[in-house]
Amino acid sequence: MKVVVIIPTYNEKGNIDRLIQILEEEIFSSIKNHEMYILVADDNSPDGTAEVVKKLMEKYKNIELNSGEKKGLGAAYVRAMTYAIETMQADVMFEFDADLSHDPKKIPAFLQKIDEGYDMVIGNRYSDGGSIPQNWPPARKAFSIVANLFVRIVFLRLTIHDWTGGFRALKKEVFLKEKNELEKYNGYIFQISFLHKVVRDGFRIGEVPFSFTDRTLGRSKIAPAGYIFDVLKFVIVTRIKEIIFGKFGKFLVVGGFGFIINAMTLRVLVEYIDWHPAPANLVGAAFAIFSNYNFNNIWTFRERRSRTLGMYLFRMIEFYASSSFGVVVIQTGTIFLGTALLGKEFYFIYFLIGTSFLLLWNFTMYNRVIWRKKSASQVQYCY
C-alpha cells in the first residue's frame, strides 16, 4: 500500500529537518511491505520551513510539499489529505506532528493494525502504557486528562481513550466518506470532530499506546482558552443534536403526537357524546397507537420499515398487542379507578396520571425487553 505521512507545519523550521531525517533513515528503511512517502502541509510559514523542506526534497525523492494559506490545523489537514489522495494516490495517511512529540518508532505498529483490517488507528496517551509528559504544568495535565474523559463520557464511547491527539493513521476511504462534513472544522477541533464522525459511521478503530514528548524547539500553536471553549461547545452541541434528531427525539415527537390524539379523542367523546372516560380512553388510545405505529414505521425506524402489506399488518397487530397491557390495565385502569372512587369530574387528571404510569411502564419495557432484544419489529413498540 502507498502510505503518506502528512506533517502539518507552521514555523517548524527547527524541527522538520531532524524529523524527516529520522523518518527516512531510521523508520522507513525498516518498513518493507509498504511504500512510504512524506507530505509536508505548510501554511506559508514565515520562518522559511518550506525552504528547508525543498532542500530535503532534493535529497529524498519520496517527499512532497503542499503549501497554502493559513486557516488552521484542520483546514491544513483537509487540504493535504485531498492532495495526498488525488495527487499522490495515497491508500493510507498518517497525521503526524512536526515537533517530535509523536514517537516515529510507533509507525510500524500503526501500519500493523491497518494491515489487520482497522480503518483508523489512533495514538493513545491515556492507557495501556501510553503517557503524557511528566513535566507538563498541572493545569495542562488536568485539562488533557479531563477533556478526554469528558468526551468519552458525553459521547458514550469509553473504549476510545484519546480523542484530542494528532497521531493517527487512516485509510483513504475514511477521509473520503467524512470530507464534506469536515470543512467547517478549521482549527484543532478537527481532531475530535473527525473521530466522532468516524465512530458514528461504524469504521473499525484501533489504538496504539505511545508516550507523548514535549516539543523542545519552536512554539506551540494552540491557544488553550479558545480550544477548551471549542471542545466544550462541540461535544455538548453535537450530543444534544444527536439526542433531538436521533431515535430518542423521534420517539418523543411521535409519542407526543400520539398523546395529543389520545387526549383530544377522550375529551370529545366524554364532553360531547357523554361517554364514560374509561371506554373513551380506549378509543383514544387505539387511534394514538395507530398514529404511533405509522409514524414509527415511516420515520423513526424508516430503515427497517415494513415493505409488504402482510408485514405491515402483522407488525401492526403485534404493536397493538404489546401496547394493550399498558393502555388497558395501567392507563385506562387508572381512569376507571379514579372515576369509580372519586367521580367523573376530574377524569382528565386521572388520564394524565395514568399516562405518566404508562410512560414509566413503556420506558421499562424499552430498556428491559425491546432494546435488549433489538428486533426490528419489537423496537417499534413505543406507546
Ligand X SMILES: Nc1nc2c(ncn2[C@@H]2O[C@H](COP(=O)(O)OP(=O)(O)OP(=O)(O)O)[C@@H](O)[C@H]2O)c(=O)[nH]1
Q: How far is the CB of 9 from ligand X (least distance, A)?
A: 5
Among 19, 64, 97, 125, binds ligand X (CB under 6 A): 97
Q: Which one of 12, 64, 119, 207 is in contact with ligand X (CB under 6 A)?
A: 12
Asked if 204 is part of the footprint of ligand X (rule: CB under 6 A), the reply reads no
The entry of ligand X, Mg ion, none that residue 162 binds, CB within 5 to 8 Å by partner kind:
none
* Grid cell for residue 306: 415494513
* Amino acid letter, residue 234: F
Residue 14 or 249 having the CB closest to ligand X: 14
Cβ(164)–Cβ(212) below 8 Å: no
Q: In whole angstroms, what is the distance from residue 297 CA to residue 294 CA? A: 5
> What's the min distance (Å) between Cβ of 199 and ligand X?
21
Q: How far is the CB of 44 from ligand X (least distance, A)?
A: 9
Distances (CA, A) of 147 to 74, 127, 139, 209, 349: 19, 15, 12, 18, 46
Q: Residue 222 touches which of ligand X, Mg ion, none (CB < 5 to 8 A by kind)?
A: ligand X
Angle (deg, nearest 10), helices 277-295 and 347-365: 40
Q: In what order do the strands lie in the sheet with 63-67?
A: 63-67, 35-42, 2-9, 92-95, 168-171, 120-124, 205-209
Segment 40-79, which members bind ligand X (CB under 6 A)?
41-43, 70, 72-73, 76
CA 193 – CA 273 distance, rounded (Å): 57
Residue 235: CB minimum distance to ligand X, A:
18
Q: Which residues touch 79 (CB under 8 Å, ≥6 apart)?
A: 41, 66, 68
Our CB check for ligand X shows the closer of 33 and 216 to be: 216
For residue 222, state whether it binds ligand X (rule: CB under 6 A).
yes
Q: Is 8 in the site for ligand X (CB under 6 A)?
A: yes
- Least distance in angstroms from the C-beta of 228 to ligand X: 12
288 class by beta-carbon count within 10 Å (0-12 exposed, 13-18 middle, 19+ buried): buried
Q: Assess 10 for contact with ligand X (CB under 6 A).
A: yes
Among 12, 99, 119, 207, binds Mg ion (CB under 5 A): 99
Axis-axis angle for helices 224-245, 190-200 (nearest 10):
20
Q: How are beta strands 120-124 and 63-67 bridged, if at all? A: unpaired
**SS3 call for 82:** helix
Amino acid 307 reads: R
Task: State the binding partner of 207 from ligand X, Mg ion, none, CB within 5 to 8 A by kind.
Answer: none
Nearer to ligand X, 70 or 152 (CB): 70
With binding defined as CB under 5 A, does residue 95 bind Mg ion? Answer: no
Tell which one of 34, 141, 179, 221 touches ligand X (CB under 6 A).
221
Taking CB under 6 A as the binding criterion, the range among 22-30, 176-184, 203-211, 213-221 that sits at the site for ligand X is 213-221
Which of residues 101, 291, 332, 339 is near ligand X by CB under 6 A? Answer: 101
Q: What angle do CA 30, 167, 149 make, to 5 degrees?
A: 140
Q: Give the number of other CB atoms < 10 A from CB of residue 30.
A: 9
Residue 241 has φ and ψ, to the nearest 5°, of -60, -40
Q: Give min distance, CB of 218 to Mg ion, in A.
A: 9
Query: Closer to Mg ion at the Cβ: 101 or 191?
Result: 101
Containing 39, the helix (H) or strand (E) segment is strand 35-42
In the complex with ligand X, which residue's Cβ is closer, 41 or 289?
41
Cα separation, 168 vs 205, whole angstroms: 10
CB 94, min distance to ligand X, A: 12
Q: How far apart are CA 227 and CA 222, in angstroms?
A: 7
As a whole number of Å, the end-to-end CA separation of the chain is: 52
Hunting for cell 494552540 — which residue is that? Answer: 222
CB nearer ligand X, residue 97 or residue 289: 97
Residues of this chain, 197-216, that bind Mg ion according to CB under 5 A: 215
Q: Considering beta carbons, is residue 226 or 246 the nearer one to Mg ion?
A: 226
Q: Which residues would be at the binding site for ligand X (CB under 6 A)?
A: 8-10, 12, 41-43, 70, 72-73, 76, 97-99, 101, 166, 215, 220-222
Q: Which residues would be at the binding site for Mg ion (CB under 5 A)?
A: 97, 99, 101, 215
